[in-house]
């Protein structure tokens, strides 16, 4: 089972005392998360000013730092379009990457998705399909990418309540089951839905992820100390569920 630590996401500087921004901070948080039980990492690289970036030098710096502290642990990067806002520029950035991640997440609600997936695969980078609703799954199936992905991320757009998120997930699952897709799935939520969807994922046999990208709090509502505390709790839940 994959227990992925999502270390920073799009959280803004100052949103949490332990939010890692620099390459060194991300690498230290990654090492602690791995020691707490994570066996994969998801990272949003940041420039020196704390802004997200897909620039080759920025991505290389964080990947090099993380791999020095976490040898052998698969590391994934975001490709979110909101970072560069231009699909063509995003492709140029990724084409110029010198240090390659093991995988990258691709949001299927963004323009240029199919071209991005093809580029990642050509470069030997695994694709994680980010699926927020049934329309995203329909596009995934139409592109023929479903079986070529390393993992499908079920990350519902409607995450205001657990009930709403669950409805979106069930709609996506019906489409995937109907198409006979057997690619590994990872289910996760954000903020109030993060822990309930993680526990649901464990019951269904899916991969899971947790970290400051998804939630700043523990299940009891208290602020998490850092990514490692979130991962350690998730590891205990997975162990009790017989998944580890």
Measured CA angle at 244 (ends 207, 204), to 5 deg: 40
Region 80-89: mean pLDDT is: 96
Q: Which pLDDT score is estimated for 43?
A: 98
Buried/exposed 212-237: b ≥16 CB within 10 Å, e otherwise: bbbbbeebeeeebebbbbbbbbbbeb
Domains defined along the chain, listed by start: 3-240 (3.20.20.70)
Region 163-173: mean pLDDT is: 97
Q: How far apart are CA 88 and CA 116, in angstroms?
A: 9
Q: Which pLDDT score is estimated for 159?
A: 84
- Tell me the pLDDT tens digit for each residue of 204-225: 999 999 999 999 999 999 999 9
Q: Give, rounded to a whole angstrom, the gap between the first and last alpha carbons of the chain.
A: 7
Cβ atoms of residues 114 and 120 within 8 Å: no
Q: What are phi and psi of 112, to 5 degrees?
A: 80, 15
Q: Which pLDDT score is estimated for 160?
A: 87
Q: How far apart are CA 7 and CA 21, in angstroms?
A: 9
Confidence band, pLDDT 50/70/90 cuts, at residue 12: very high
Q: Which pLDDT score is estimated for 117?
A: 98
pLDDT > 90 in the chain, percent: 97
Q: Which pLDDT score is estimated for 27?
A: 98
Q: How far apart are CA 146 and CA 140, in angstroms?
A: 6
């Amino acid at each position: 089972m994959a227990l992925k630590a999502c270390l920073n996401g799009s959280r803004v500087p100052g949103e949490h005392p332990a939010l890692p921004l620099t390459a060194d901070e991300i690498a230290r948080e990654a090492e602690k998360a791995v020691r707490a039980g994570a066996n994969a990492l998801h990272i949003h690289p940041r420039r020196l000013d704390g802004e997200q970036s897909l620039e080759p030098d920025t991505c290389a710096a964080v990947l090099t730092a993380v791999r020095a502290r976490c040898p052998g642990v698969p590391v994934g990067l975001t490709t979110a379009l909101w970072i560069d806002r231009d699909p063509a520029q995003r492709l140029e950035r990724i084409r110029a990457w010198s240090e390659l991640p093991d995988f990258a997440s691709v949001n299927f609600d963004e323009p240029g998705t199919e071209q991005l997936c093809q580029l990642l695969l050509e470069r030997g980078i695994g694709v994680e399909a980010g699926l927020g609703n049934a329309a995203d799954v329909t596009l995934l199936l139409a592109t023929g990418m479903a079986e070529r992905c390393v993992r499908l991320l079920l990350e519902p757009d409607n995450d205001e309540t657990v009930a709403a998120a669950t409805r979106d997930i069930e709609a996506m699952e019906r489409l995937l089951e109907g198409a006979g897709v057997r690619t590994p799935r990872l289910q996760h939520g954000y903020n109030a839905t993060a822990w309930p969807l993680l526990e649901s994922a464990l019951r269904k046999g899916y991969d899971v992820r947790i970290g400051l990208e998804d939630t700043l709090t523990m299940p009891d509502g208290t602020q998490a100390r850092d990514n490692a505390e979130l991962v350690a709790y998730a590891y205990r839940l997975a162990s009790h569920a017989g998944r580890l």
